[in-house]
Structure 1
Amino acid sequence: MVGQGKRIHTNHASEVKLSRRTGRNRVALFIVSLLVGASVLPTAAGAEASFRAVKVKDKVYVEAEALEKVAGGKGTYDSKSNTYQYKPNDIPTIVEKVSPSVVSIIGRQIDAEDDSDNWLSHGTGVVVRKDGWIVTNAHVILALQKPVVVTPEGKSYPVSKWFADEESDIALIKINAQNMKPATFVRPNPALKVGEGVVALGTPVSFTLRNSATSGIISGIDRAVDSSYKLIQTDAAINPGNSGGPLVNMHGEVIGINTLKFAAVGIENMGFAIPSDTVNLIVQHFFKYSKVKRASIGVELEESWAAYVGLPTDVPIKVTSVVSAQAKKAGITEGDVLYAINGKPVKTLVDVHEALKSFLPGQQVKLTMQSKGNLVAKMVVLSEAVKPAVKEKSVDADE
């Protein structure tokens, strides 16, 4: 029950795929200046890396295959001309790679009046398993009656089952389809940097605009915008209907799921995406437990005013109430202040959620706290959030 403070919602409740070419005629090394001279690096994901290198007559050579993994794109070696031809990933290439994994979701709005002209609503989803499992936003699926998924080929399937976690705004839905193409999700998230190029795909504004793409950059990372977890900020256009779609890097890997739930109405060039590491954790819980087992310290916490409005602060989080038996057993008392969880500093309630999201109830963590004027370490067994985190539904075929 951690974090039922100012910022906490009250509804508590793929491994990276990198291609490797192993053909006998593939050149293993090429000159670094070829890559730089072709202005490839600015179009890549911007990740830093180190490579094994060979220096020959003042020229430095590295493995072409290794550079491709960082910069993206494809290269081929021509043995006749003894040249290496490299083509970076451009936006059309990225869209072509990712689009087969992006679907549209449409249905009747739950709160729509019978005589309303705007009774249909839609969103976007991303395929995570070839047997018809798709990730989207919780607010998308919870707003629809009899939701239907439309694939990139135009085939439609009714949603047969879904799970929705409102706290993270992630939902997992199932359709009776086979041989779908799962997207490649980055896990864990790389060191994202402001300024890196990204592409957002989805179904903006109108269902007739499905399979649309917009491009932009990462405008900010680790944003807390009335959410329980940190978000990625982007200036790529994310319009109504894009919610649930992928935000991808310049390798065509999904780094986040777009969401309009936390966007400010009327502000342009400011969209947000749920990072792929949060998405992966929530989806893993759905598959393994059919719910999100959200861990809690077992106390109610209050962050400072500065933390609440997003200002830098050194004011620690304060314990306002001790709820679980495990927290009481650990010696946590009202008025204690919290500095770190397993050595990870926490200054906001979002920091607390981020520090706990990879843990399960029943596991133990070390809390660095100030209690009765003394800096102490307290070991606490995590409890499970009291309120259910997931809404689940199976839909009959004739419903």
Structure 2
Amino acid sequence: MVKRSLFTNERQLGSGLFKKLNGKAAIGAAFFSFGLLMAGSATAAAPTSGAVSLPVKVINGEAYVKATSLTAALGGTGTYDKASQTYKYTPAVVPSVIKQVAPSVVAIIGKPDANGGRFALAHGTGVIIKSDGLIVTNAHVVQDMTRIVVVTADGKEYEGTRKQIDVTSDLAFVQIKASGLKPAKFAASPLKVTVGEPAIAIGTPVSFSLRNTATVGVISGLNRSVSDDYNLLQTDAAINPGNSGGPLVNMKGEVVGINSMKFVDVDIDSMGFAIPADTVQYVLNQFAKYGKVMRPSLGLELEESWSAVVGLPTEEPMTVTAVVSAEAQAAGFKVGDQIYAVGGKQIATLVELSELLKSYLPGGKIAVTVLADGDLVSRQVVLAKSLSQ
């Protein structure tokens, strides 16, 4: 089984290697039913998902729902006709969502330098996050790219500059000199998505000439530990080399993830992964505030249990294999100690630890519950600066 990024290097692909894929998309109509609830809210049946709660105002026994609450919860659009005093709601369908999001998606290509061949190109995808031309993409797309060129959905071409890069999260930010661009709307943190809800991937698969390709699937899984860094979203929406850095979108037109990698094997189909929107926001906020990601560390090298490594549900602790920071040494950690909880939260995997430490900075203190010499004790440790970039 191979884990592969979605970054296309045309020097490797060459020409004539296109493979036809039979895609399929399901577009369903949404039906809404409103009822008066004791808690002062109403329920609406969301397309292909469970009911959602909406705030209501009760007047003379009737429940009234704000139109903006309806569209915010379920997507779609609504208009009020003053003459007829009617409100027309149009449910979100795949074409309308794509039309909404596509202007915020760009294609990124690395032109060869003076010594590069004419076809020595590599490309990926990006998402506009600010109207002045700030774009998020994958770190592996632009890390080694020279003479970055960004093409917007309307076909305009811009020179791009790497502004910030964070290899650990596989996120990078590229700046172009532009104004009036349409930023994508990212889902709020903490991210709320459901397995089975529709997901749309937009990007530049295989060839740069296939810009703005859209495919449809569902959110296949949450909190996937594909690496030792952060949780990922899993989707069966068709994503291919060149989709790296492109958006994974819900039916409200919100970016829920940045497509990053897929599993490739003759026996594996439709297993793509995306960096969740809240991780994107975390990295963006860190760069905005500190100019880099201030990632903390316990100052320990840890080994997961066998159960955790193979993916079994487990409460087994991680074992200290090395004490690498002076702060951890001062706290009394030794090789062989077993870590049960950090910050009052039980953890069993490196990804769980990475996710928990998003809320901390180097230099802060945190309590660690550890089994040492047969005793379960709590130690206060000063967080070190992570060596991860």
Q: TM-score, with normalisation over the residues of structure 1? A: 0.80
* Ranges in structure 1 where 5+ consecutive residues have no aligned partner: 1-29, 34-38, 390-399
- Aligned counterparts of 1:310 and 1:145: Cα–Cα separation in 2: 39
Root mean square deviation, CA, Å:
2.5
Alignment of 1:174-323 (within 5 A): 174-260=175-261, 263-266=263-266, 267-323=268-324
Match among 42, 51, 54 for residue 47 of structure 2: 42
Taking the aligned partners of 2:326 and 2:51, their CA distance within structure 1 comes to 45
Task: Please show how residues 70-219 of structure 1 align to structure 2 within 5 Å.
Answer: 70-108=73-111, 119-219=120-220
Does structure 2 conserve the Cα–Cα contact (< 8 Å) formed by 1:184 and 1:254? Answer: yes
Question: Could you tell me how far 1:232 is from its partner in structure 2?
Answer: 0.2
Q: In the superposition, relative to structure 1, how do residues 168 and 135 fare at CA in structure 2: closer, same or farther (>3 Å)?
A: same
Partner Cα distance (1:293, 1:70) in 2 = 34
Letter in 2 for 1:187: A
For the 8 Å contact 1:322–1:333, the answer to whether it is kept is yes
Q: Which secondary structure state, in structure 2, belongs to the residue aligned with residue 380 of structure 1?
A: strand
**Structure 2 SS opposite 1:221:** strand
Name the counterpart of 2:12: none
Q: Specify which of 32, 35, 46 is matched with residue 34 of structure 2.
A: 32
**2:351 is paired with a residue of what secondary structure?**
helix
The answer as to whether partners of 2:227 and 2:351 remain within 8 angstroms in 1 is no
Q: Which residue type is aligned with residue 350 of structure 2?
A: L
Distance 1:203 1:294 in 2: 31
TM-score (norm 2): 0.82
- Structure 2 residue matching 1:327: 3-state secondary structure: helix
Share of identical aligned residues, percent? 49
Contact 1:43 1:90 in 2 (8 A): no
Question: C-alpha distance in 1, partners of 2:204/2:134?
Answer: 19
Q: CA deviation at 1:50?
A: 4.9
Unaligned runs of 5+ in 2: 1-31, 36-43
Alpha-carbon separation, structure 1, partners of 2:52 and 2:387: 42
What is the CA–CA distance in structure 2 between the aligned matches of 1:211 and 1:202, rounded to whole Å? 5
Query: How far apart are 1:119 and its partner, in Å?
Result: 2.0
**Structure 1 residue 104, shift from structure 2 partner:** 0.4
CA contact (8 A) 1:131 1:179 kept: yes
Alpha-carbon shift at residue 372 of structure 1 (Å): 2.2
Q: Aligned-pair distance for 1:166?
A: 1.7
- Which consecutive aligned stretches of 4+ in structure 1 deviate over 6 angstroms post-superposition? none
